[in-house]
Chain A
Amino acid sequence: MADRTIADRLFELALFAFPRDFRDRWEDELRAEFEVRREDGRQRTPVVRALALVGVLGDMVLNGLLQRWAARRGRSLWTSEWRILIRSLGRRPAFTAQAVLTVALGAVGLTTVYPILHRTVLRPLPYEEPERLVAVRTTLDQDLLGVTPPELLLLKQQADLFQGVAAVLPPEYDRSFVWTDGTPREPLRALQATPDLFRVLGVDLSGPGYDPSPGGADEVVLSHGFWERRFGEQDVVGRAMSLNDRPFTVVGVLPEGFELPLDGQDFDVWPVFRIDPTWPASMDNRVYRMVARMAEGASVEGVAARVPDLLRDFHDREATGIHIGSTHLRSLHEDLVGAVRLPLLLLTAGAILVLVVAALNLSLLLAARNLARDAELGVRRALGAGEGRLARFLLMETGALAALGALGGLGLSRVVLRVLEAVGGEGLGRGGPVSEGLGLIPWMAGGAVLAVALGAGIVPALSAARGARLGSRSRSRSKDAHRTIAWVVGVESAVVFALLVAAGLTVMSLDRILSVDPGFRAEGAVAVGVRLPDDRYDRTGIPAFFEAAAARLEGLPGVVAVGSVTHLPLEEANWGGSFAVEGREGQDPGSLPLVDWEFASPSYFEAAGIPLLEGRPFTTAEHADGSRVAIINQTLARRFWPEGGAIGSRVNGNGFDGNWFTVVGVVGDVKQQGLEDDSRGYMYMASNIYYDWLERQLVIRTASTNPTSLVPEIRQALLEMEPSLTIGTVTSMEGVVERASGAFRLRALVFGSLGLIAVLLGMAGIHGVASHGVQARMQEVGVRLALGADQNGVFRMVVVDGLRPVLLGMTAGATLALWAGGWLDSFLYGIDARSPLVLVGIATVLVASALAAIVPPALRARSLDPVELLQE
């Protein structure tokens, strides 16, 4: 009996594989057959019967599913709806194109900016338990600095706070690295790291990694990309590699995708450096970037509360005389990418606002179109299409438009990303070009666009489906529609206004930054970074070589003057320390201002086009013998000698204790830290006989408008003088200025484009609404005119009605812009985010363009013939 029941139940189940209509028709016969078969099989063994049952049931399920599939295909309601849809979209190509373009333009911002945000900020850093990694930074005079070696060692001992403490030395503070195995010598991007760095980060190297015990041989770890590029992925661990003419051993290769985006840079090689406990806690040692893993269970807040006290106690105890402005600990993620987060978030917010404008526009477009084909929908409804089916059809239509638009936006964003990379270069993303290896991220943004666009279609679709009855357009419904449309226009105006303010501010910032005088004459000059080979030039040999090189290059046709300096203007790299004037030593060292210093050759100022305001340049003799003479900039001169008289005074920068330098000249201020930075105190010294610093930037002034055209001859002449010379970056000085304004360009470009798109979409929307509004009110206008309303009154009425939501929206937009201004301020230059000039200017532009959209239909309304109208 149980056997029967189970078989029966299985039969019932299998029956459900068939569609319902089939079951209704065939169930009886199927069941009868099933029973007869079972009777027939009585004599068989249970195994055979069970197999037969399985066969019968399997066959039923299979046929049931086939029948379902065939039924669906045969009915093909969806297919036919799609066919109708494609035809209906094809019949109105202008509408289709406008809708798709609206979505695509609305999408392109988000599909461009979101991948950048994701790649640069949101993506976690590829370390083990990255939330336990922190960085400690100190500040002084608004400069964000690192920590000194004694501070590092002190923190390393705090086992209750840190499980491991490592450090890296940013390349701008130390010598550069050159691969000296081959010819020509190849400059590498190197980041020096303490032996425990990769252990602290929890990164698995292929290879043993640095030897943690002090005194080991020089070791280097290779980045995956460099290893792949230059060694073709062969086994290199244990191999010798010559860097700066010194033997290094390759002790590991980093895994693919590893990154430590220090100021957005990528590195080829990671040479080890070991902290010497005797290195002092001096200001010029405040350059080490600490990377620490917090102890198990420690919180960022808890550790951050302890570290400043520890450091202050240390400086008090050791009487280092070092003044710490403030100390703060933050997550490593924040430390590495925090600086770009705010601008990128603002851009993303801007992109979302543009999408909102596009969605509202799409909504208006669809609503207008549905109204226009009210009759068509009414017919469909009268022919039996239910409300649900009509709504579904309208939503399918929106979906198709939205999908096409989102795809268009994705396609556009590919192009835009490449343009941005070309313009913004290093300012974009981290770990390689943003346009590569994004995977599904842009599609996520595309999906969001699709969802928003579909959302925008829901209300018009539902209201059209509900209202689509023949002759159903009641007065109240059209009044409702007008109110909704006014709201949409208002919100759009608010968003467009806010976006235009952001666009205006960033574009004006760019304009201001481009008009900043960098303090040198860029046109006609080219800079060549060079590095002498190690161990061949002594402290007097180095300046001697560069003087000889200058003389040789000045002999080239077209070359006007050649100078050398340790760091280029705008390079954002420099040496520095606190500044002292002889006879005024009484001041507390901690309160002394910071001064930046460089070593410059006699003709540097002439070659770079830096004006000499007072005194004289260095002489060749001073350069060669290392005379203690200095040239200071105007800021320093004004600050310490407000009444004049700097020339002849003796000064000193921290690091040259006890050695006074006589001021022989005053030069104009040069923007060294970036175009937007205020000029700082600067001191140039005649030659560097204090460090065996092998690197110089040669600044070559030419008579040519295209100075880089002389580079081949310059290169050849230099290599003839010293075949082992490494020639690094070659840039025109104009290129240097351009790079310094890169971030401003990028923001102006992105915000400017977003603003432009927003205003285009906004105007299209307002224009559409205004002309539609006039169209819809023809009858009313006709009645008014017939009743003797004056034509100007009608004109005024249409304009005022059209303008009212725009003005209200703009007020809201201005509030929004004022509220968001604080965030914008941080990356503007020379203009206040709440600048009334910008607000009023944008308001004028918006009102003007709204009028341009409203006046033509209003004029049309004015000249209408009431008789004709009412006859219609």
Chain B
Amino acid sequence: MKTPTLSTRHVRILLVLADAPRHGYEIGKEIEHETGGRIRLRPGSLYRALHQLLERGLIRELEEDEGDPRRRSYDVTSSGRQALSAELTRMGQLVEQGRRLGVVGTDRTA
């Protein structure tokens, strides 16, 4: 059975959650921060992506009763970590290949 690949958006969300459980708004803010403000996920995109990740069992909802009841926090599941690591490995291989072929400069600055 073929597992559907993760989109870049999914990878970014999983990365942020791998660091620490967060709720939706924080996820968006963190991604914005990490990308230097280049990526800002609007709510529609963000929550649909969360919905997809939840359905695929890659993240889970944390049960907490403190704070705003409308704010729910999410954490990466173990299969989420596996999927993330597989995807990052795949990306790393791609970057490696790019370097070998000289498509990606080693001195490239962000």
Q: Which of A14, A31, A67 has the most CB of B within 10 A?
A: A67
The distance in angstroms between the C-alpha atoms of A38 and B24, with both chains bound, is 15
Q: Which of B42, B44, B71 has the most CB of A within 10 A?
A: B44
Q: A58-78 interface mask toward B, CB cutoff 8 Å, 1 = contact, 0 = none?
A: 011111101100000000000
Contacts of B48 in A (CB 8 A): 22, 63, 66-67
Chain B residue at smallest Cβ distance from A55: B42
Q: Which of B45, B48, B51, B71 has the most CB of A within 10 A?
A: B48
Chain B residue at smallest Cβ distance from A34: B43
Contacts of A26 in B (CB 8 A): 47, 50-51
Chain B interface size band reads 10 to 19
A37: Cβ under 8 A from any B Cβ: yes
Chain A residue at smallest Cβ distance from B48: A63
The distance in angstroms between the C-alpha atoms of A502 and B70, with both chains bound, is 79
Chain B residue at smallest Cβ distance from A36: B25
Q: By the criterion CB–CB under 8 Å, are B70 and A63 in contact?
A: no
Contacts of B64 in A (CB 8 A): none
A56: Cβ under 8 A from any B Cβ: yes
Q: B28-57 interface mask toward A, CB cutoff 8 Å, 1 = contact, 0 = none?
A: 100000000000001111111011000000
Q: By the criterion CB–CB under 8 Å, are A33 and B45 in contact?
A: no
Given A26-B51, A33-B24, A63 and B44 touching (CB < 8 A)?
Answer: yes
Contacts of A34 in B (CB 8 A): 43
Q: A289-316 interface mask toward B, CB cutoff 8 Å, 1 = contact, 0 = none?
A: 0000000000000000000000000000
Contacts of A67 in B (CB 8 A): 48, 51
Contacts of A31 in B (CB 8 A): 70
Contacts of B46 in A (CB 8 A): 33
Contacts of A28 in B (CB 8 A): 70
The distance in angstroms between the C-alpha atoms of A64 and B43, with both chains bound, is 11
Q: By the criterion CB–CB under 8 Å, are B70 and A60 in contact?
A: no
A32: Cβ under 8 A from any B Cβ: yes
Q: By the criterion CB–CB under 8 Å, are A32 and B44 in contact?
A: no
The distance in angstroms between the C-alpha atoms of A839 and B25, with both chains bound, is 87
Given A29-B24, A32-B25, A36-B25, A63 and B45 touching (CB < 8 A)?
Answer: yes
Q: By the criterion CB–CB under 8 Å, are B71 and A59 in contact?
A: no
Q: By the criterion CB–CB under 8 Å, are B43 and A60 in contact?
A: yes
A30: Cβ under 8 A from any B Cβ: yes
A25: Cβ under 8 A from any B Cβ: yes
Q: By the criterion CB–CB under 8 Å, are B43 and A30 in contact?
A: yes
Q: Which of A14, A31, A36 has the most CB of B within 10 A?
A: A36
Chain B residue at smallest Cβ distance from A29: B24
Contacts of A66 in B (CB 8 A): 48
Q: By the criterion CB–CB under 8 Å, are A61 and B44 in contact?
A: yes
Q: By the criterion CB–CB under 8 Å, are B70 and A64 in contact?
A: no
Q: By the criterion CB–CB under 8 Å, are A32 and B68 in contact?
A: yes
Q: By the criterion CB–CB under 8 Å, are B51 and A32 in contact?
A: no
The distance in angstroms between the C-alpha atoms of A67 and B68, with both chains bound, is 27
Partner of A30 from B23, B47, B68 at Cβ < 8 Å: B47
Q: Which residues of A1-56 are within 8 A (CB) of B?
A: 14, 22, 25-26, 28-34, 36-37, 55-56
Contacts of A37 in B (CB 8 A): 43
Given A36-B25, A67-B48, A56 and B42 touching (CB < 8 A)?
Answer: yes
Given A29-B24, A33-B28, A36-B25, A56 and B71 touching (CB < 8 A)?
Answer: no
Q: Which residues of A53-103 are within 8 A (CB) of B?
A: 55-56, 59-64, 66-67
Q: By the criterion CB–CB under 8 Å, are B44 and A59 in contact?
A: yes
The distance in angstroms between the C-alpha atoms of A385 and B46, with both chains bound, is 37
The distance in angstroms between the C-alpha atoms of A32 and B27, with both chains bound, is 14
Give min CB distance, B87 to chain A, whole Å.
20
Contacts of B10 in A (CB 8 A): none
Partner of A59 from B42, B51, B70 at Cβ < 8 Å: B42
Q: Which residues of B66-88 are within 8 A (CB) of A?
A: 68, 70-72
Contacts of A29 in B (CB 8 A): 23-24, 47, 70-72
Chain B residue at smallest Cβ distance from A62: B44
Contacts of B45 in A (CB 8 A): 59, 63
Q: By the criterion CB–CB under 8 Å, are B72 and A56 in contact?
A: no
Contacts of B51 in A (CB 8 A): 22, 25-26, 67
Give min CB distance, A464 to chain B, whole Å.
37
Chain A residue at smallest Cβ distance from B24: A29
Contacts of B44 in A (CB 8 A): 14, 30, 56, 59-64
Give min CB distance, B7 to chain A, whole Å.
12
Contacts of A32 in B (CB 8 A): 24-25, 68, 70-71
The distance in angstroms between the C-alpha atoms of A34 and B71, with both chains bound, is 12
Contacts of B70 in A (CB 8 A): 28-29, 31-32
Contacts of B71 in A (CB 8 A): 29, 32
The distance in angstroms between the C-alpha atoms of A558 and B38, with both chains bound, is 99
The distance in angstroms between the C-alpha atoms of A839 and B78, with both chains bound, is 85
Contacts of B72 in A (CB 8 A): 29
Contacts of A64 in B (CB 8 A): 44
Contacts of B43 in A (CB 8 A): 30, 33-34, 37, 56, 59-60
The distance in angstroms between the C-alpha atoms of A579 and B48, with both chains bound, is 97
Q: Which of B23, B24, B28, B47 has the most CB of A within 10 A?
A: B47
Give min CB distance, B6 to chain A, whole Å.
15
Contacts of A59 in B (CB 8 A): 42-45
The distance in angstroms between the C-alpha atoms of A36 and B24, with both chains bound, is 11
Q: Which of A37, A60, A63 has the most CB of B within 10 A?
A: A63
Contacts of B47 in A (CB 8 A): 26, 29-30, 33, 63
Contacts of A33 in B (CB 8 A): 24-25, 28, 43, 46-47
Chain B residue at smallest Cβ distance from A33: B43
Give min CB distance, B2 to chain A, whole Å.
15
The distance in angstroms between the C-alpha atoms of A765 and B13, with both chains bound, is 65
The distance in angstroms between the C-alpha atoms of A28 and B51, with both chains bound, is 13
The distance in angstroms between the C-alpha atoms of A33 and B23, with both chains bound, is 10
Chain A residue at smallest Cβ distance from B49: A63
The distance in angstroms between the C-alpha atoms of A62 and B41, with both chains bound, is 13
The distance in angstroms between the C-alpha atoms of A61 and B45, with both chains bound, is 10
The distance in angstroms between the C-alpha atoms of A33 and B25, with both chains bound, is 6
Chain A residue at smallest Cβ distance from B68: A32
The distance in angstroms between the C-alpha atoms of A33 and B43, with both chains bound, is 7
The distance in angstroms between the C-alpha atoms of A490 and B47, with both chains bound, is 64
The distance in angstroms between the C-alpha atoms of A37 and B43, with both chains bound, is 9
Contacts of B25 in A (CB 8 A): 32-33, 36
Contacts of B28 in A (CB 8 A): 33
Give min CB distance, B64 to chain A, whole Å.
14
Contacts of A30 in B (CB 8 A): 43-44, 47
Chain A residue at smallest Cβ distance from B47: A26
The distance in angstroms between the C-alpha atoms of A56 and B47, with both chains bound, is 12
Q: A429-442 interface mask toward B, CB cutoff 8 Å, 1 = contact, 0 = none?
A: 00000000000000
Chain B residue at smallest Cβ distance from A61: B44
Give min CB distance, A54 to chain B, whole Å.
11
Q: Which of B23, B43, B71 has the most CB of A within 10 A?
A: B43
Give min CB distance, B77 to chain A, whole Å.
18
Give min CB distance, A53 to chain B, whole Å.
11
Q: Which residues of A575-595 are within 8 A (CB) of B?
A: none
Q: Which of A25, A29, A37 has the most CB of B within 10 A?
A: A29
Give min CB distance, A24 to chain B, whole Å.
11
Contacts of A36 in B (CB 8 A): 25
Q: List 18 A-B contacts (CB under 8 A).
A: A22-B48, A25-B51, A26-B51, A30-B44, A32-B25, A32-B70, A32-B71, A36-B25, A37-B43, A59-B42, A60-B42, A60-B44, A62-B44, A63-B44, A63-B45, A63-B47, A63-B48, A64-B44
Extra contacts besides A22-B48, A29-B24, A59-B45 (10): CB < 8 Å:
A22-B51, A30-B44, A30-B47, A32-B24, A32-B68, A33-B46, A59-B43, A60-B44, A63-B44, A67-B51
Shortest beta-carbon contacts, A-B, top 10: A60-B44, A59-B42, A63-B44, A59-B44, A63-B48, A28-B70, A32-B70, A33-B43, A26-B47, A56-B42
Q: Could you tell me which B residues sit within 8 Å of A by CB distance?
A: 23-25, 28, 42-48, 50-51, 68, 70-72
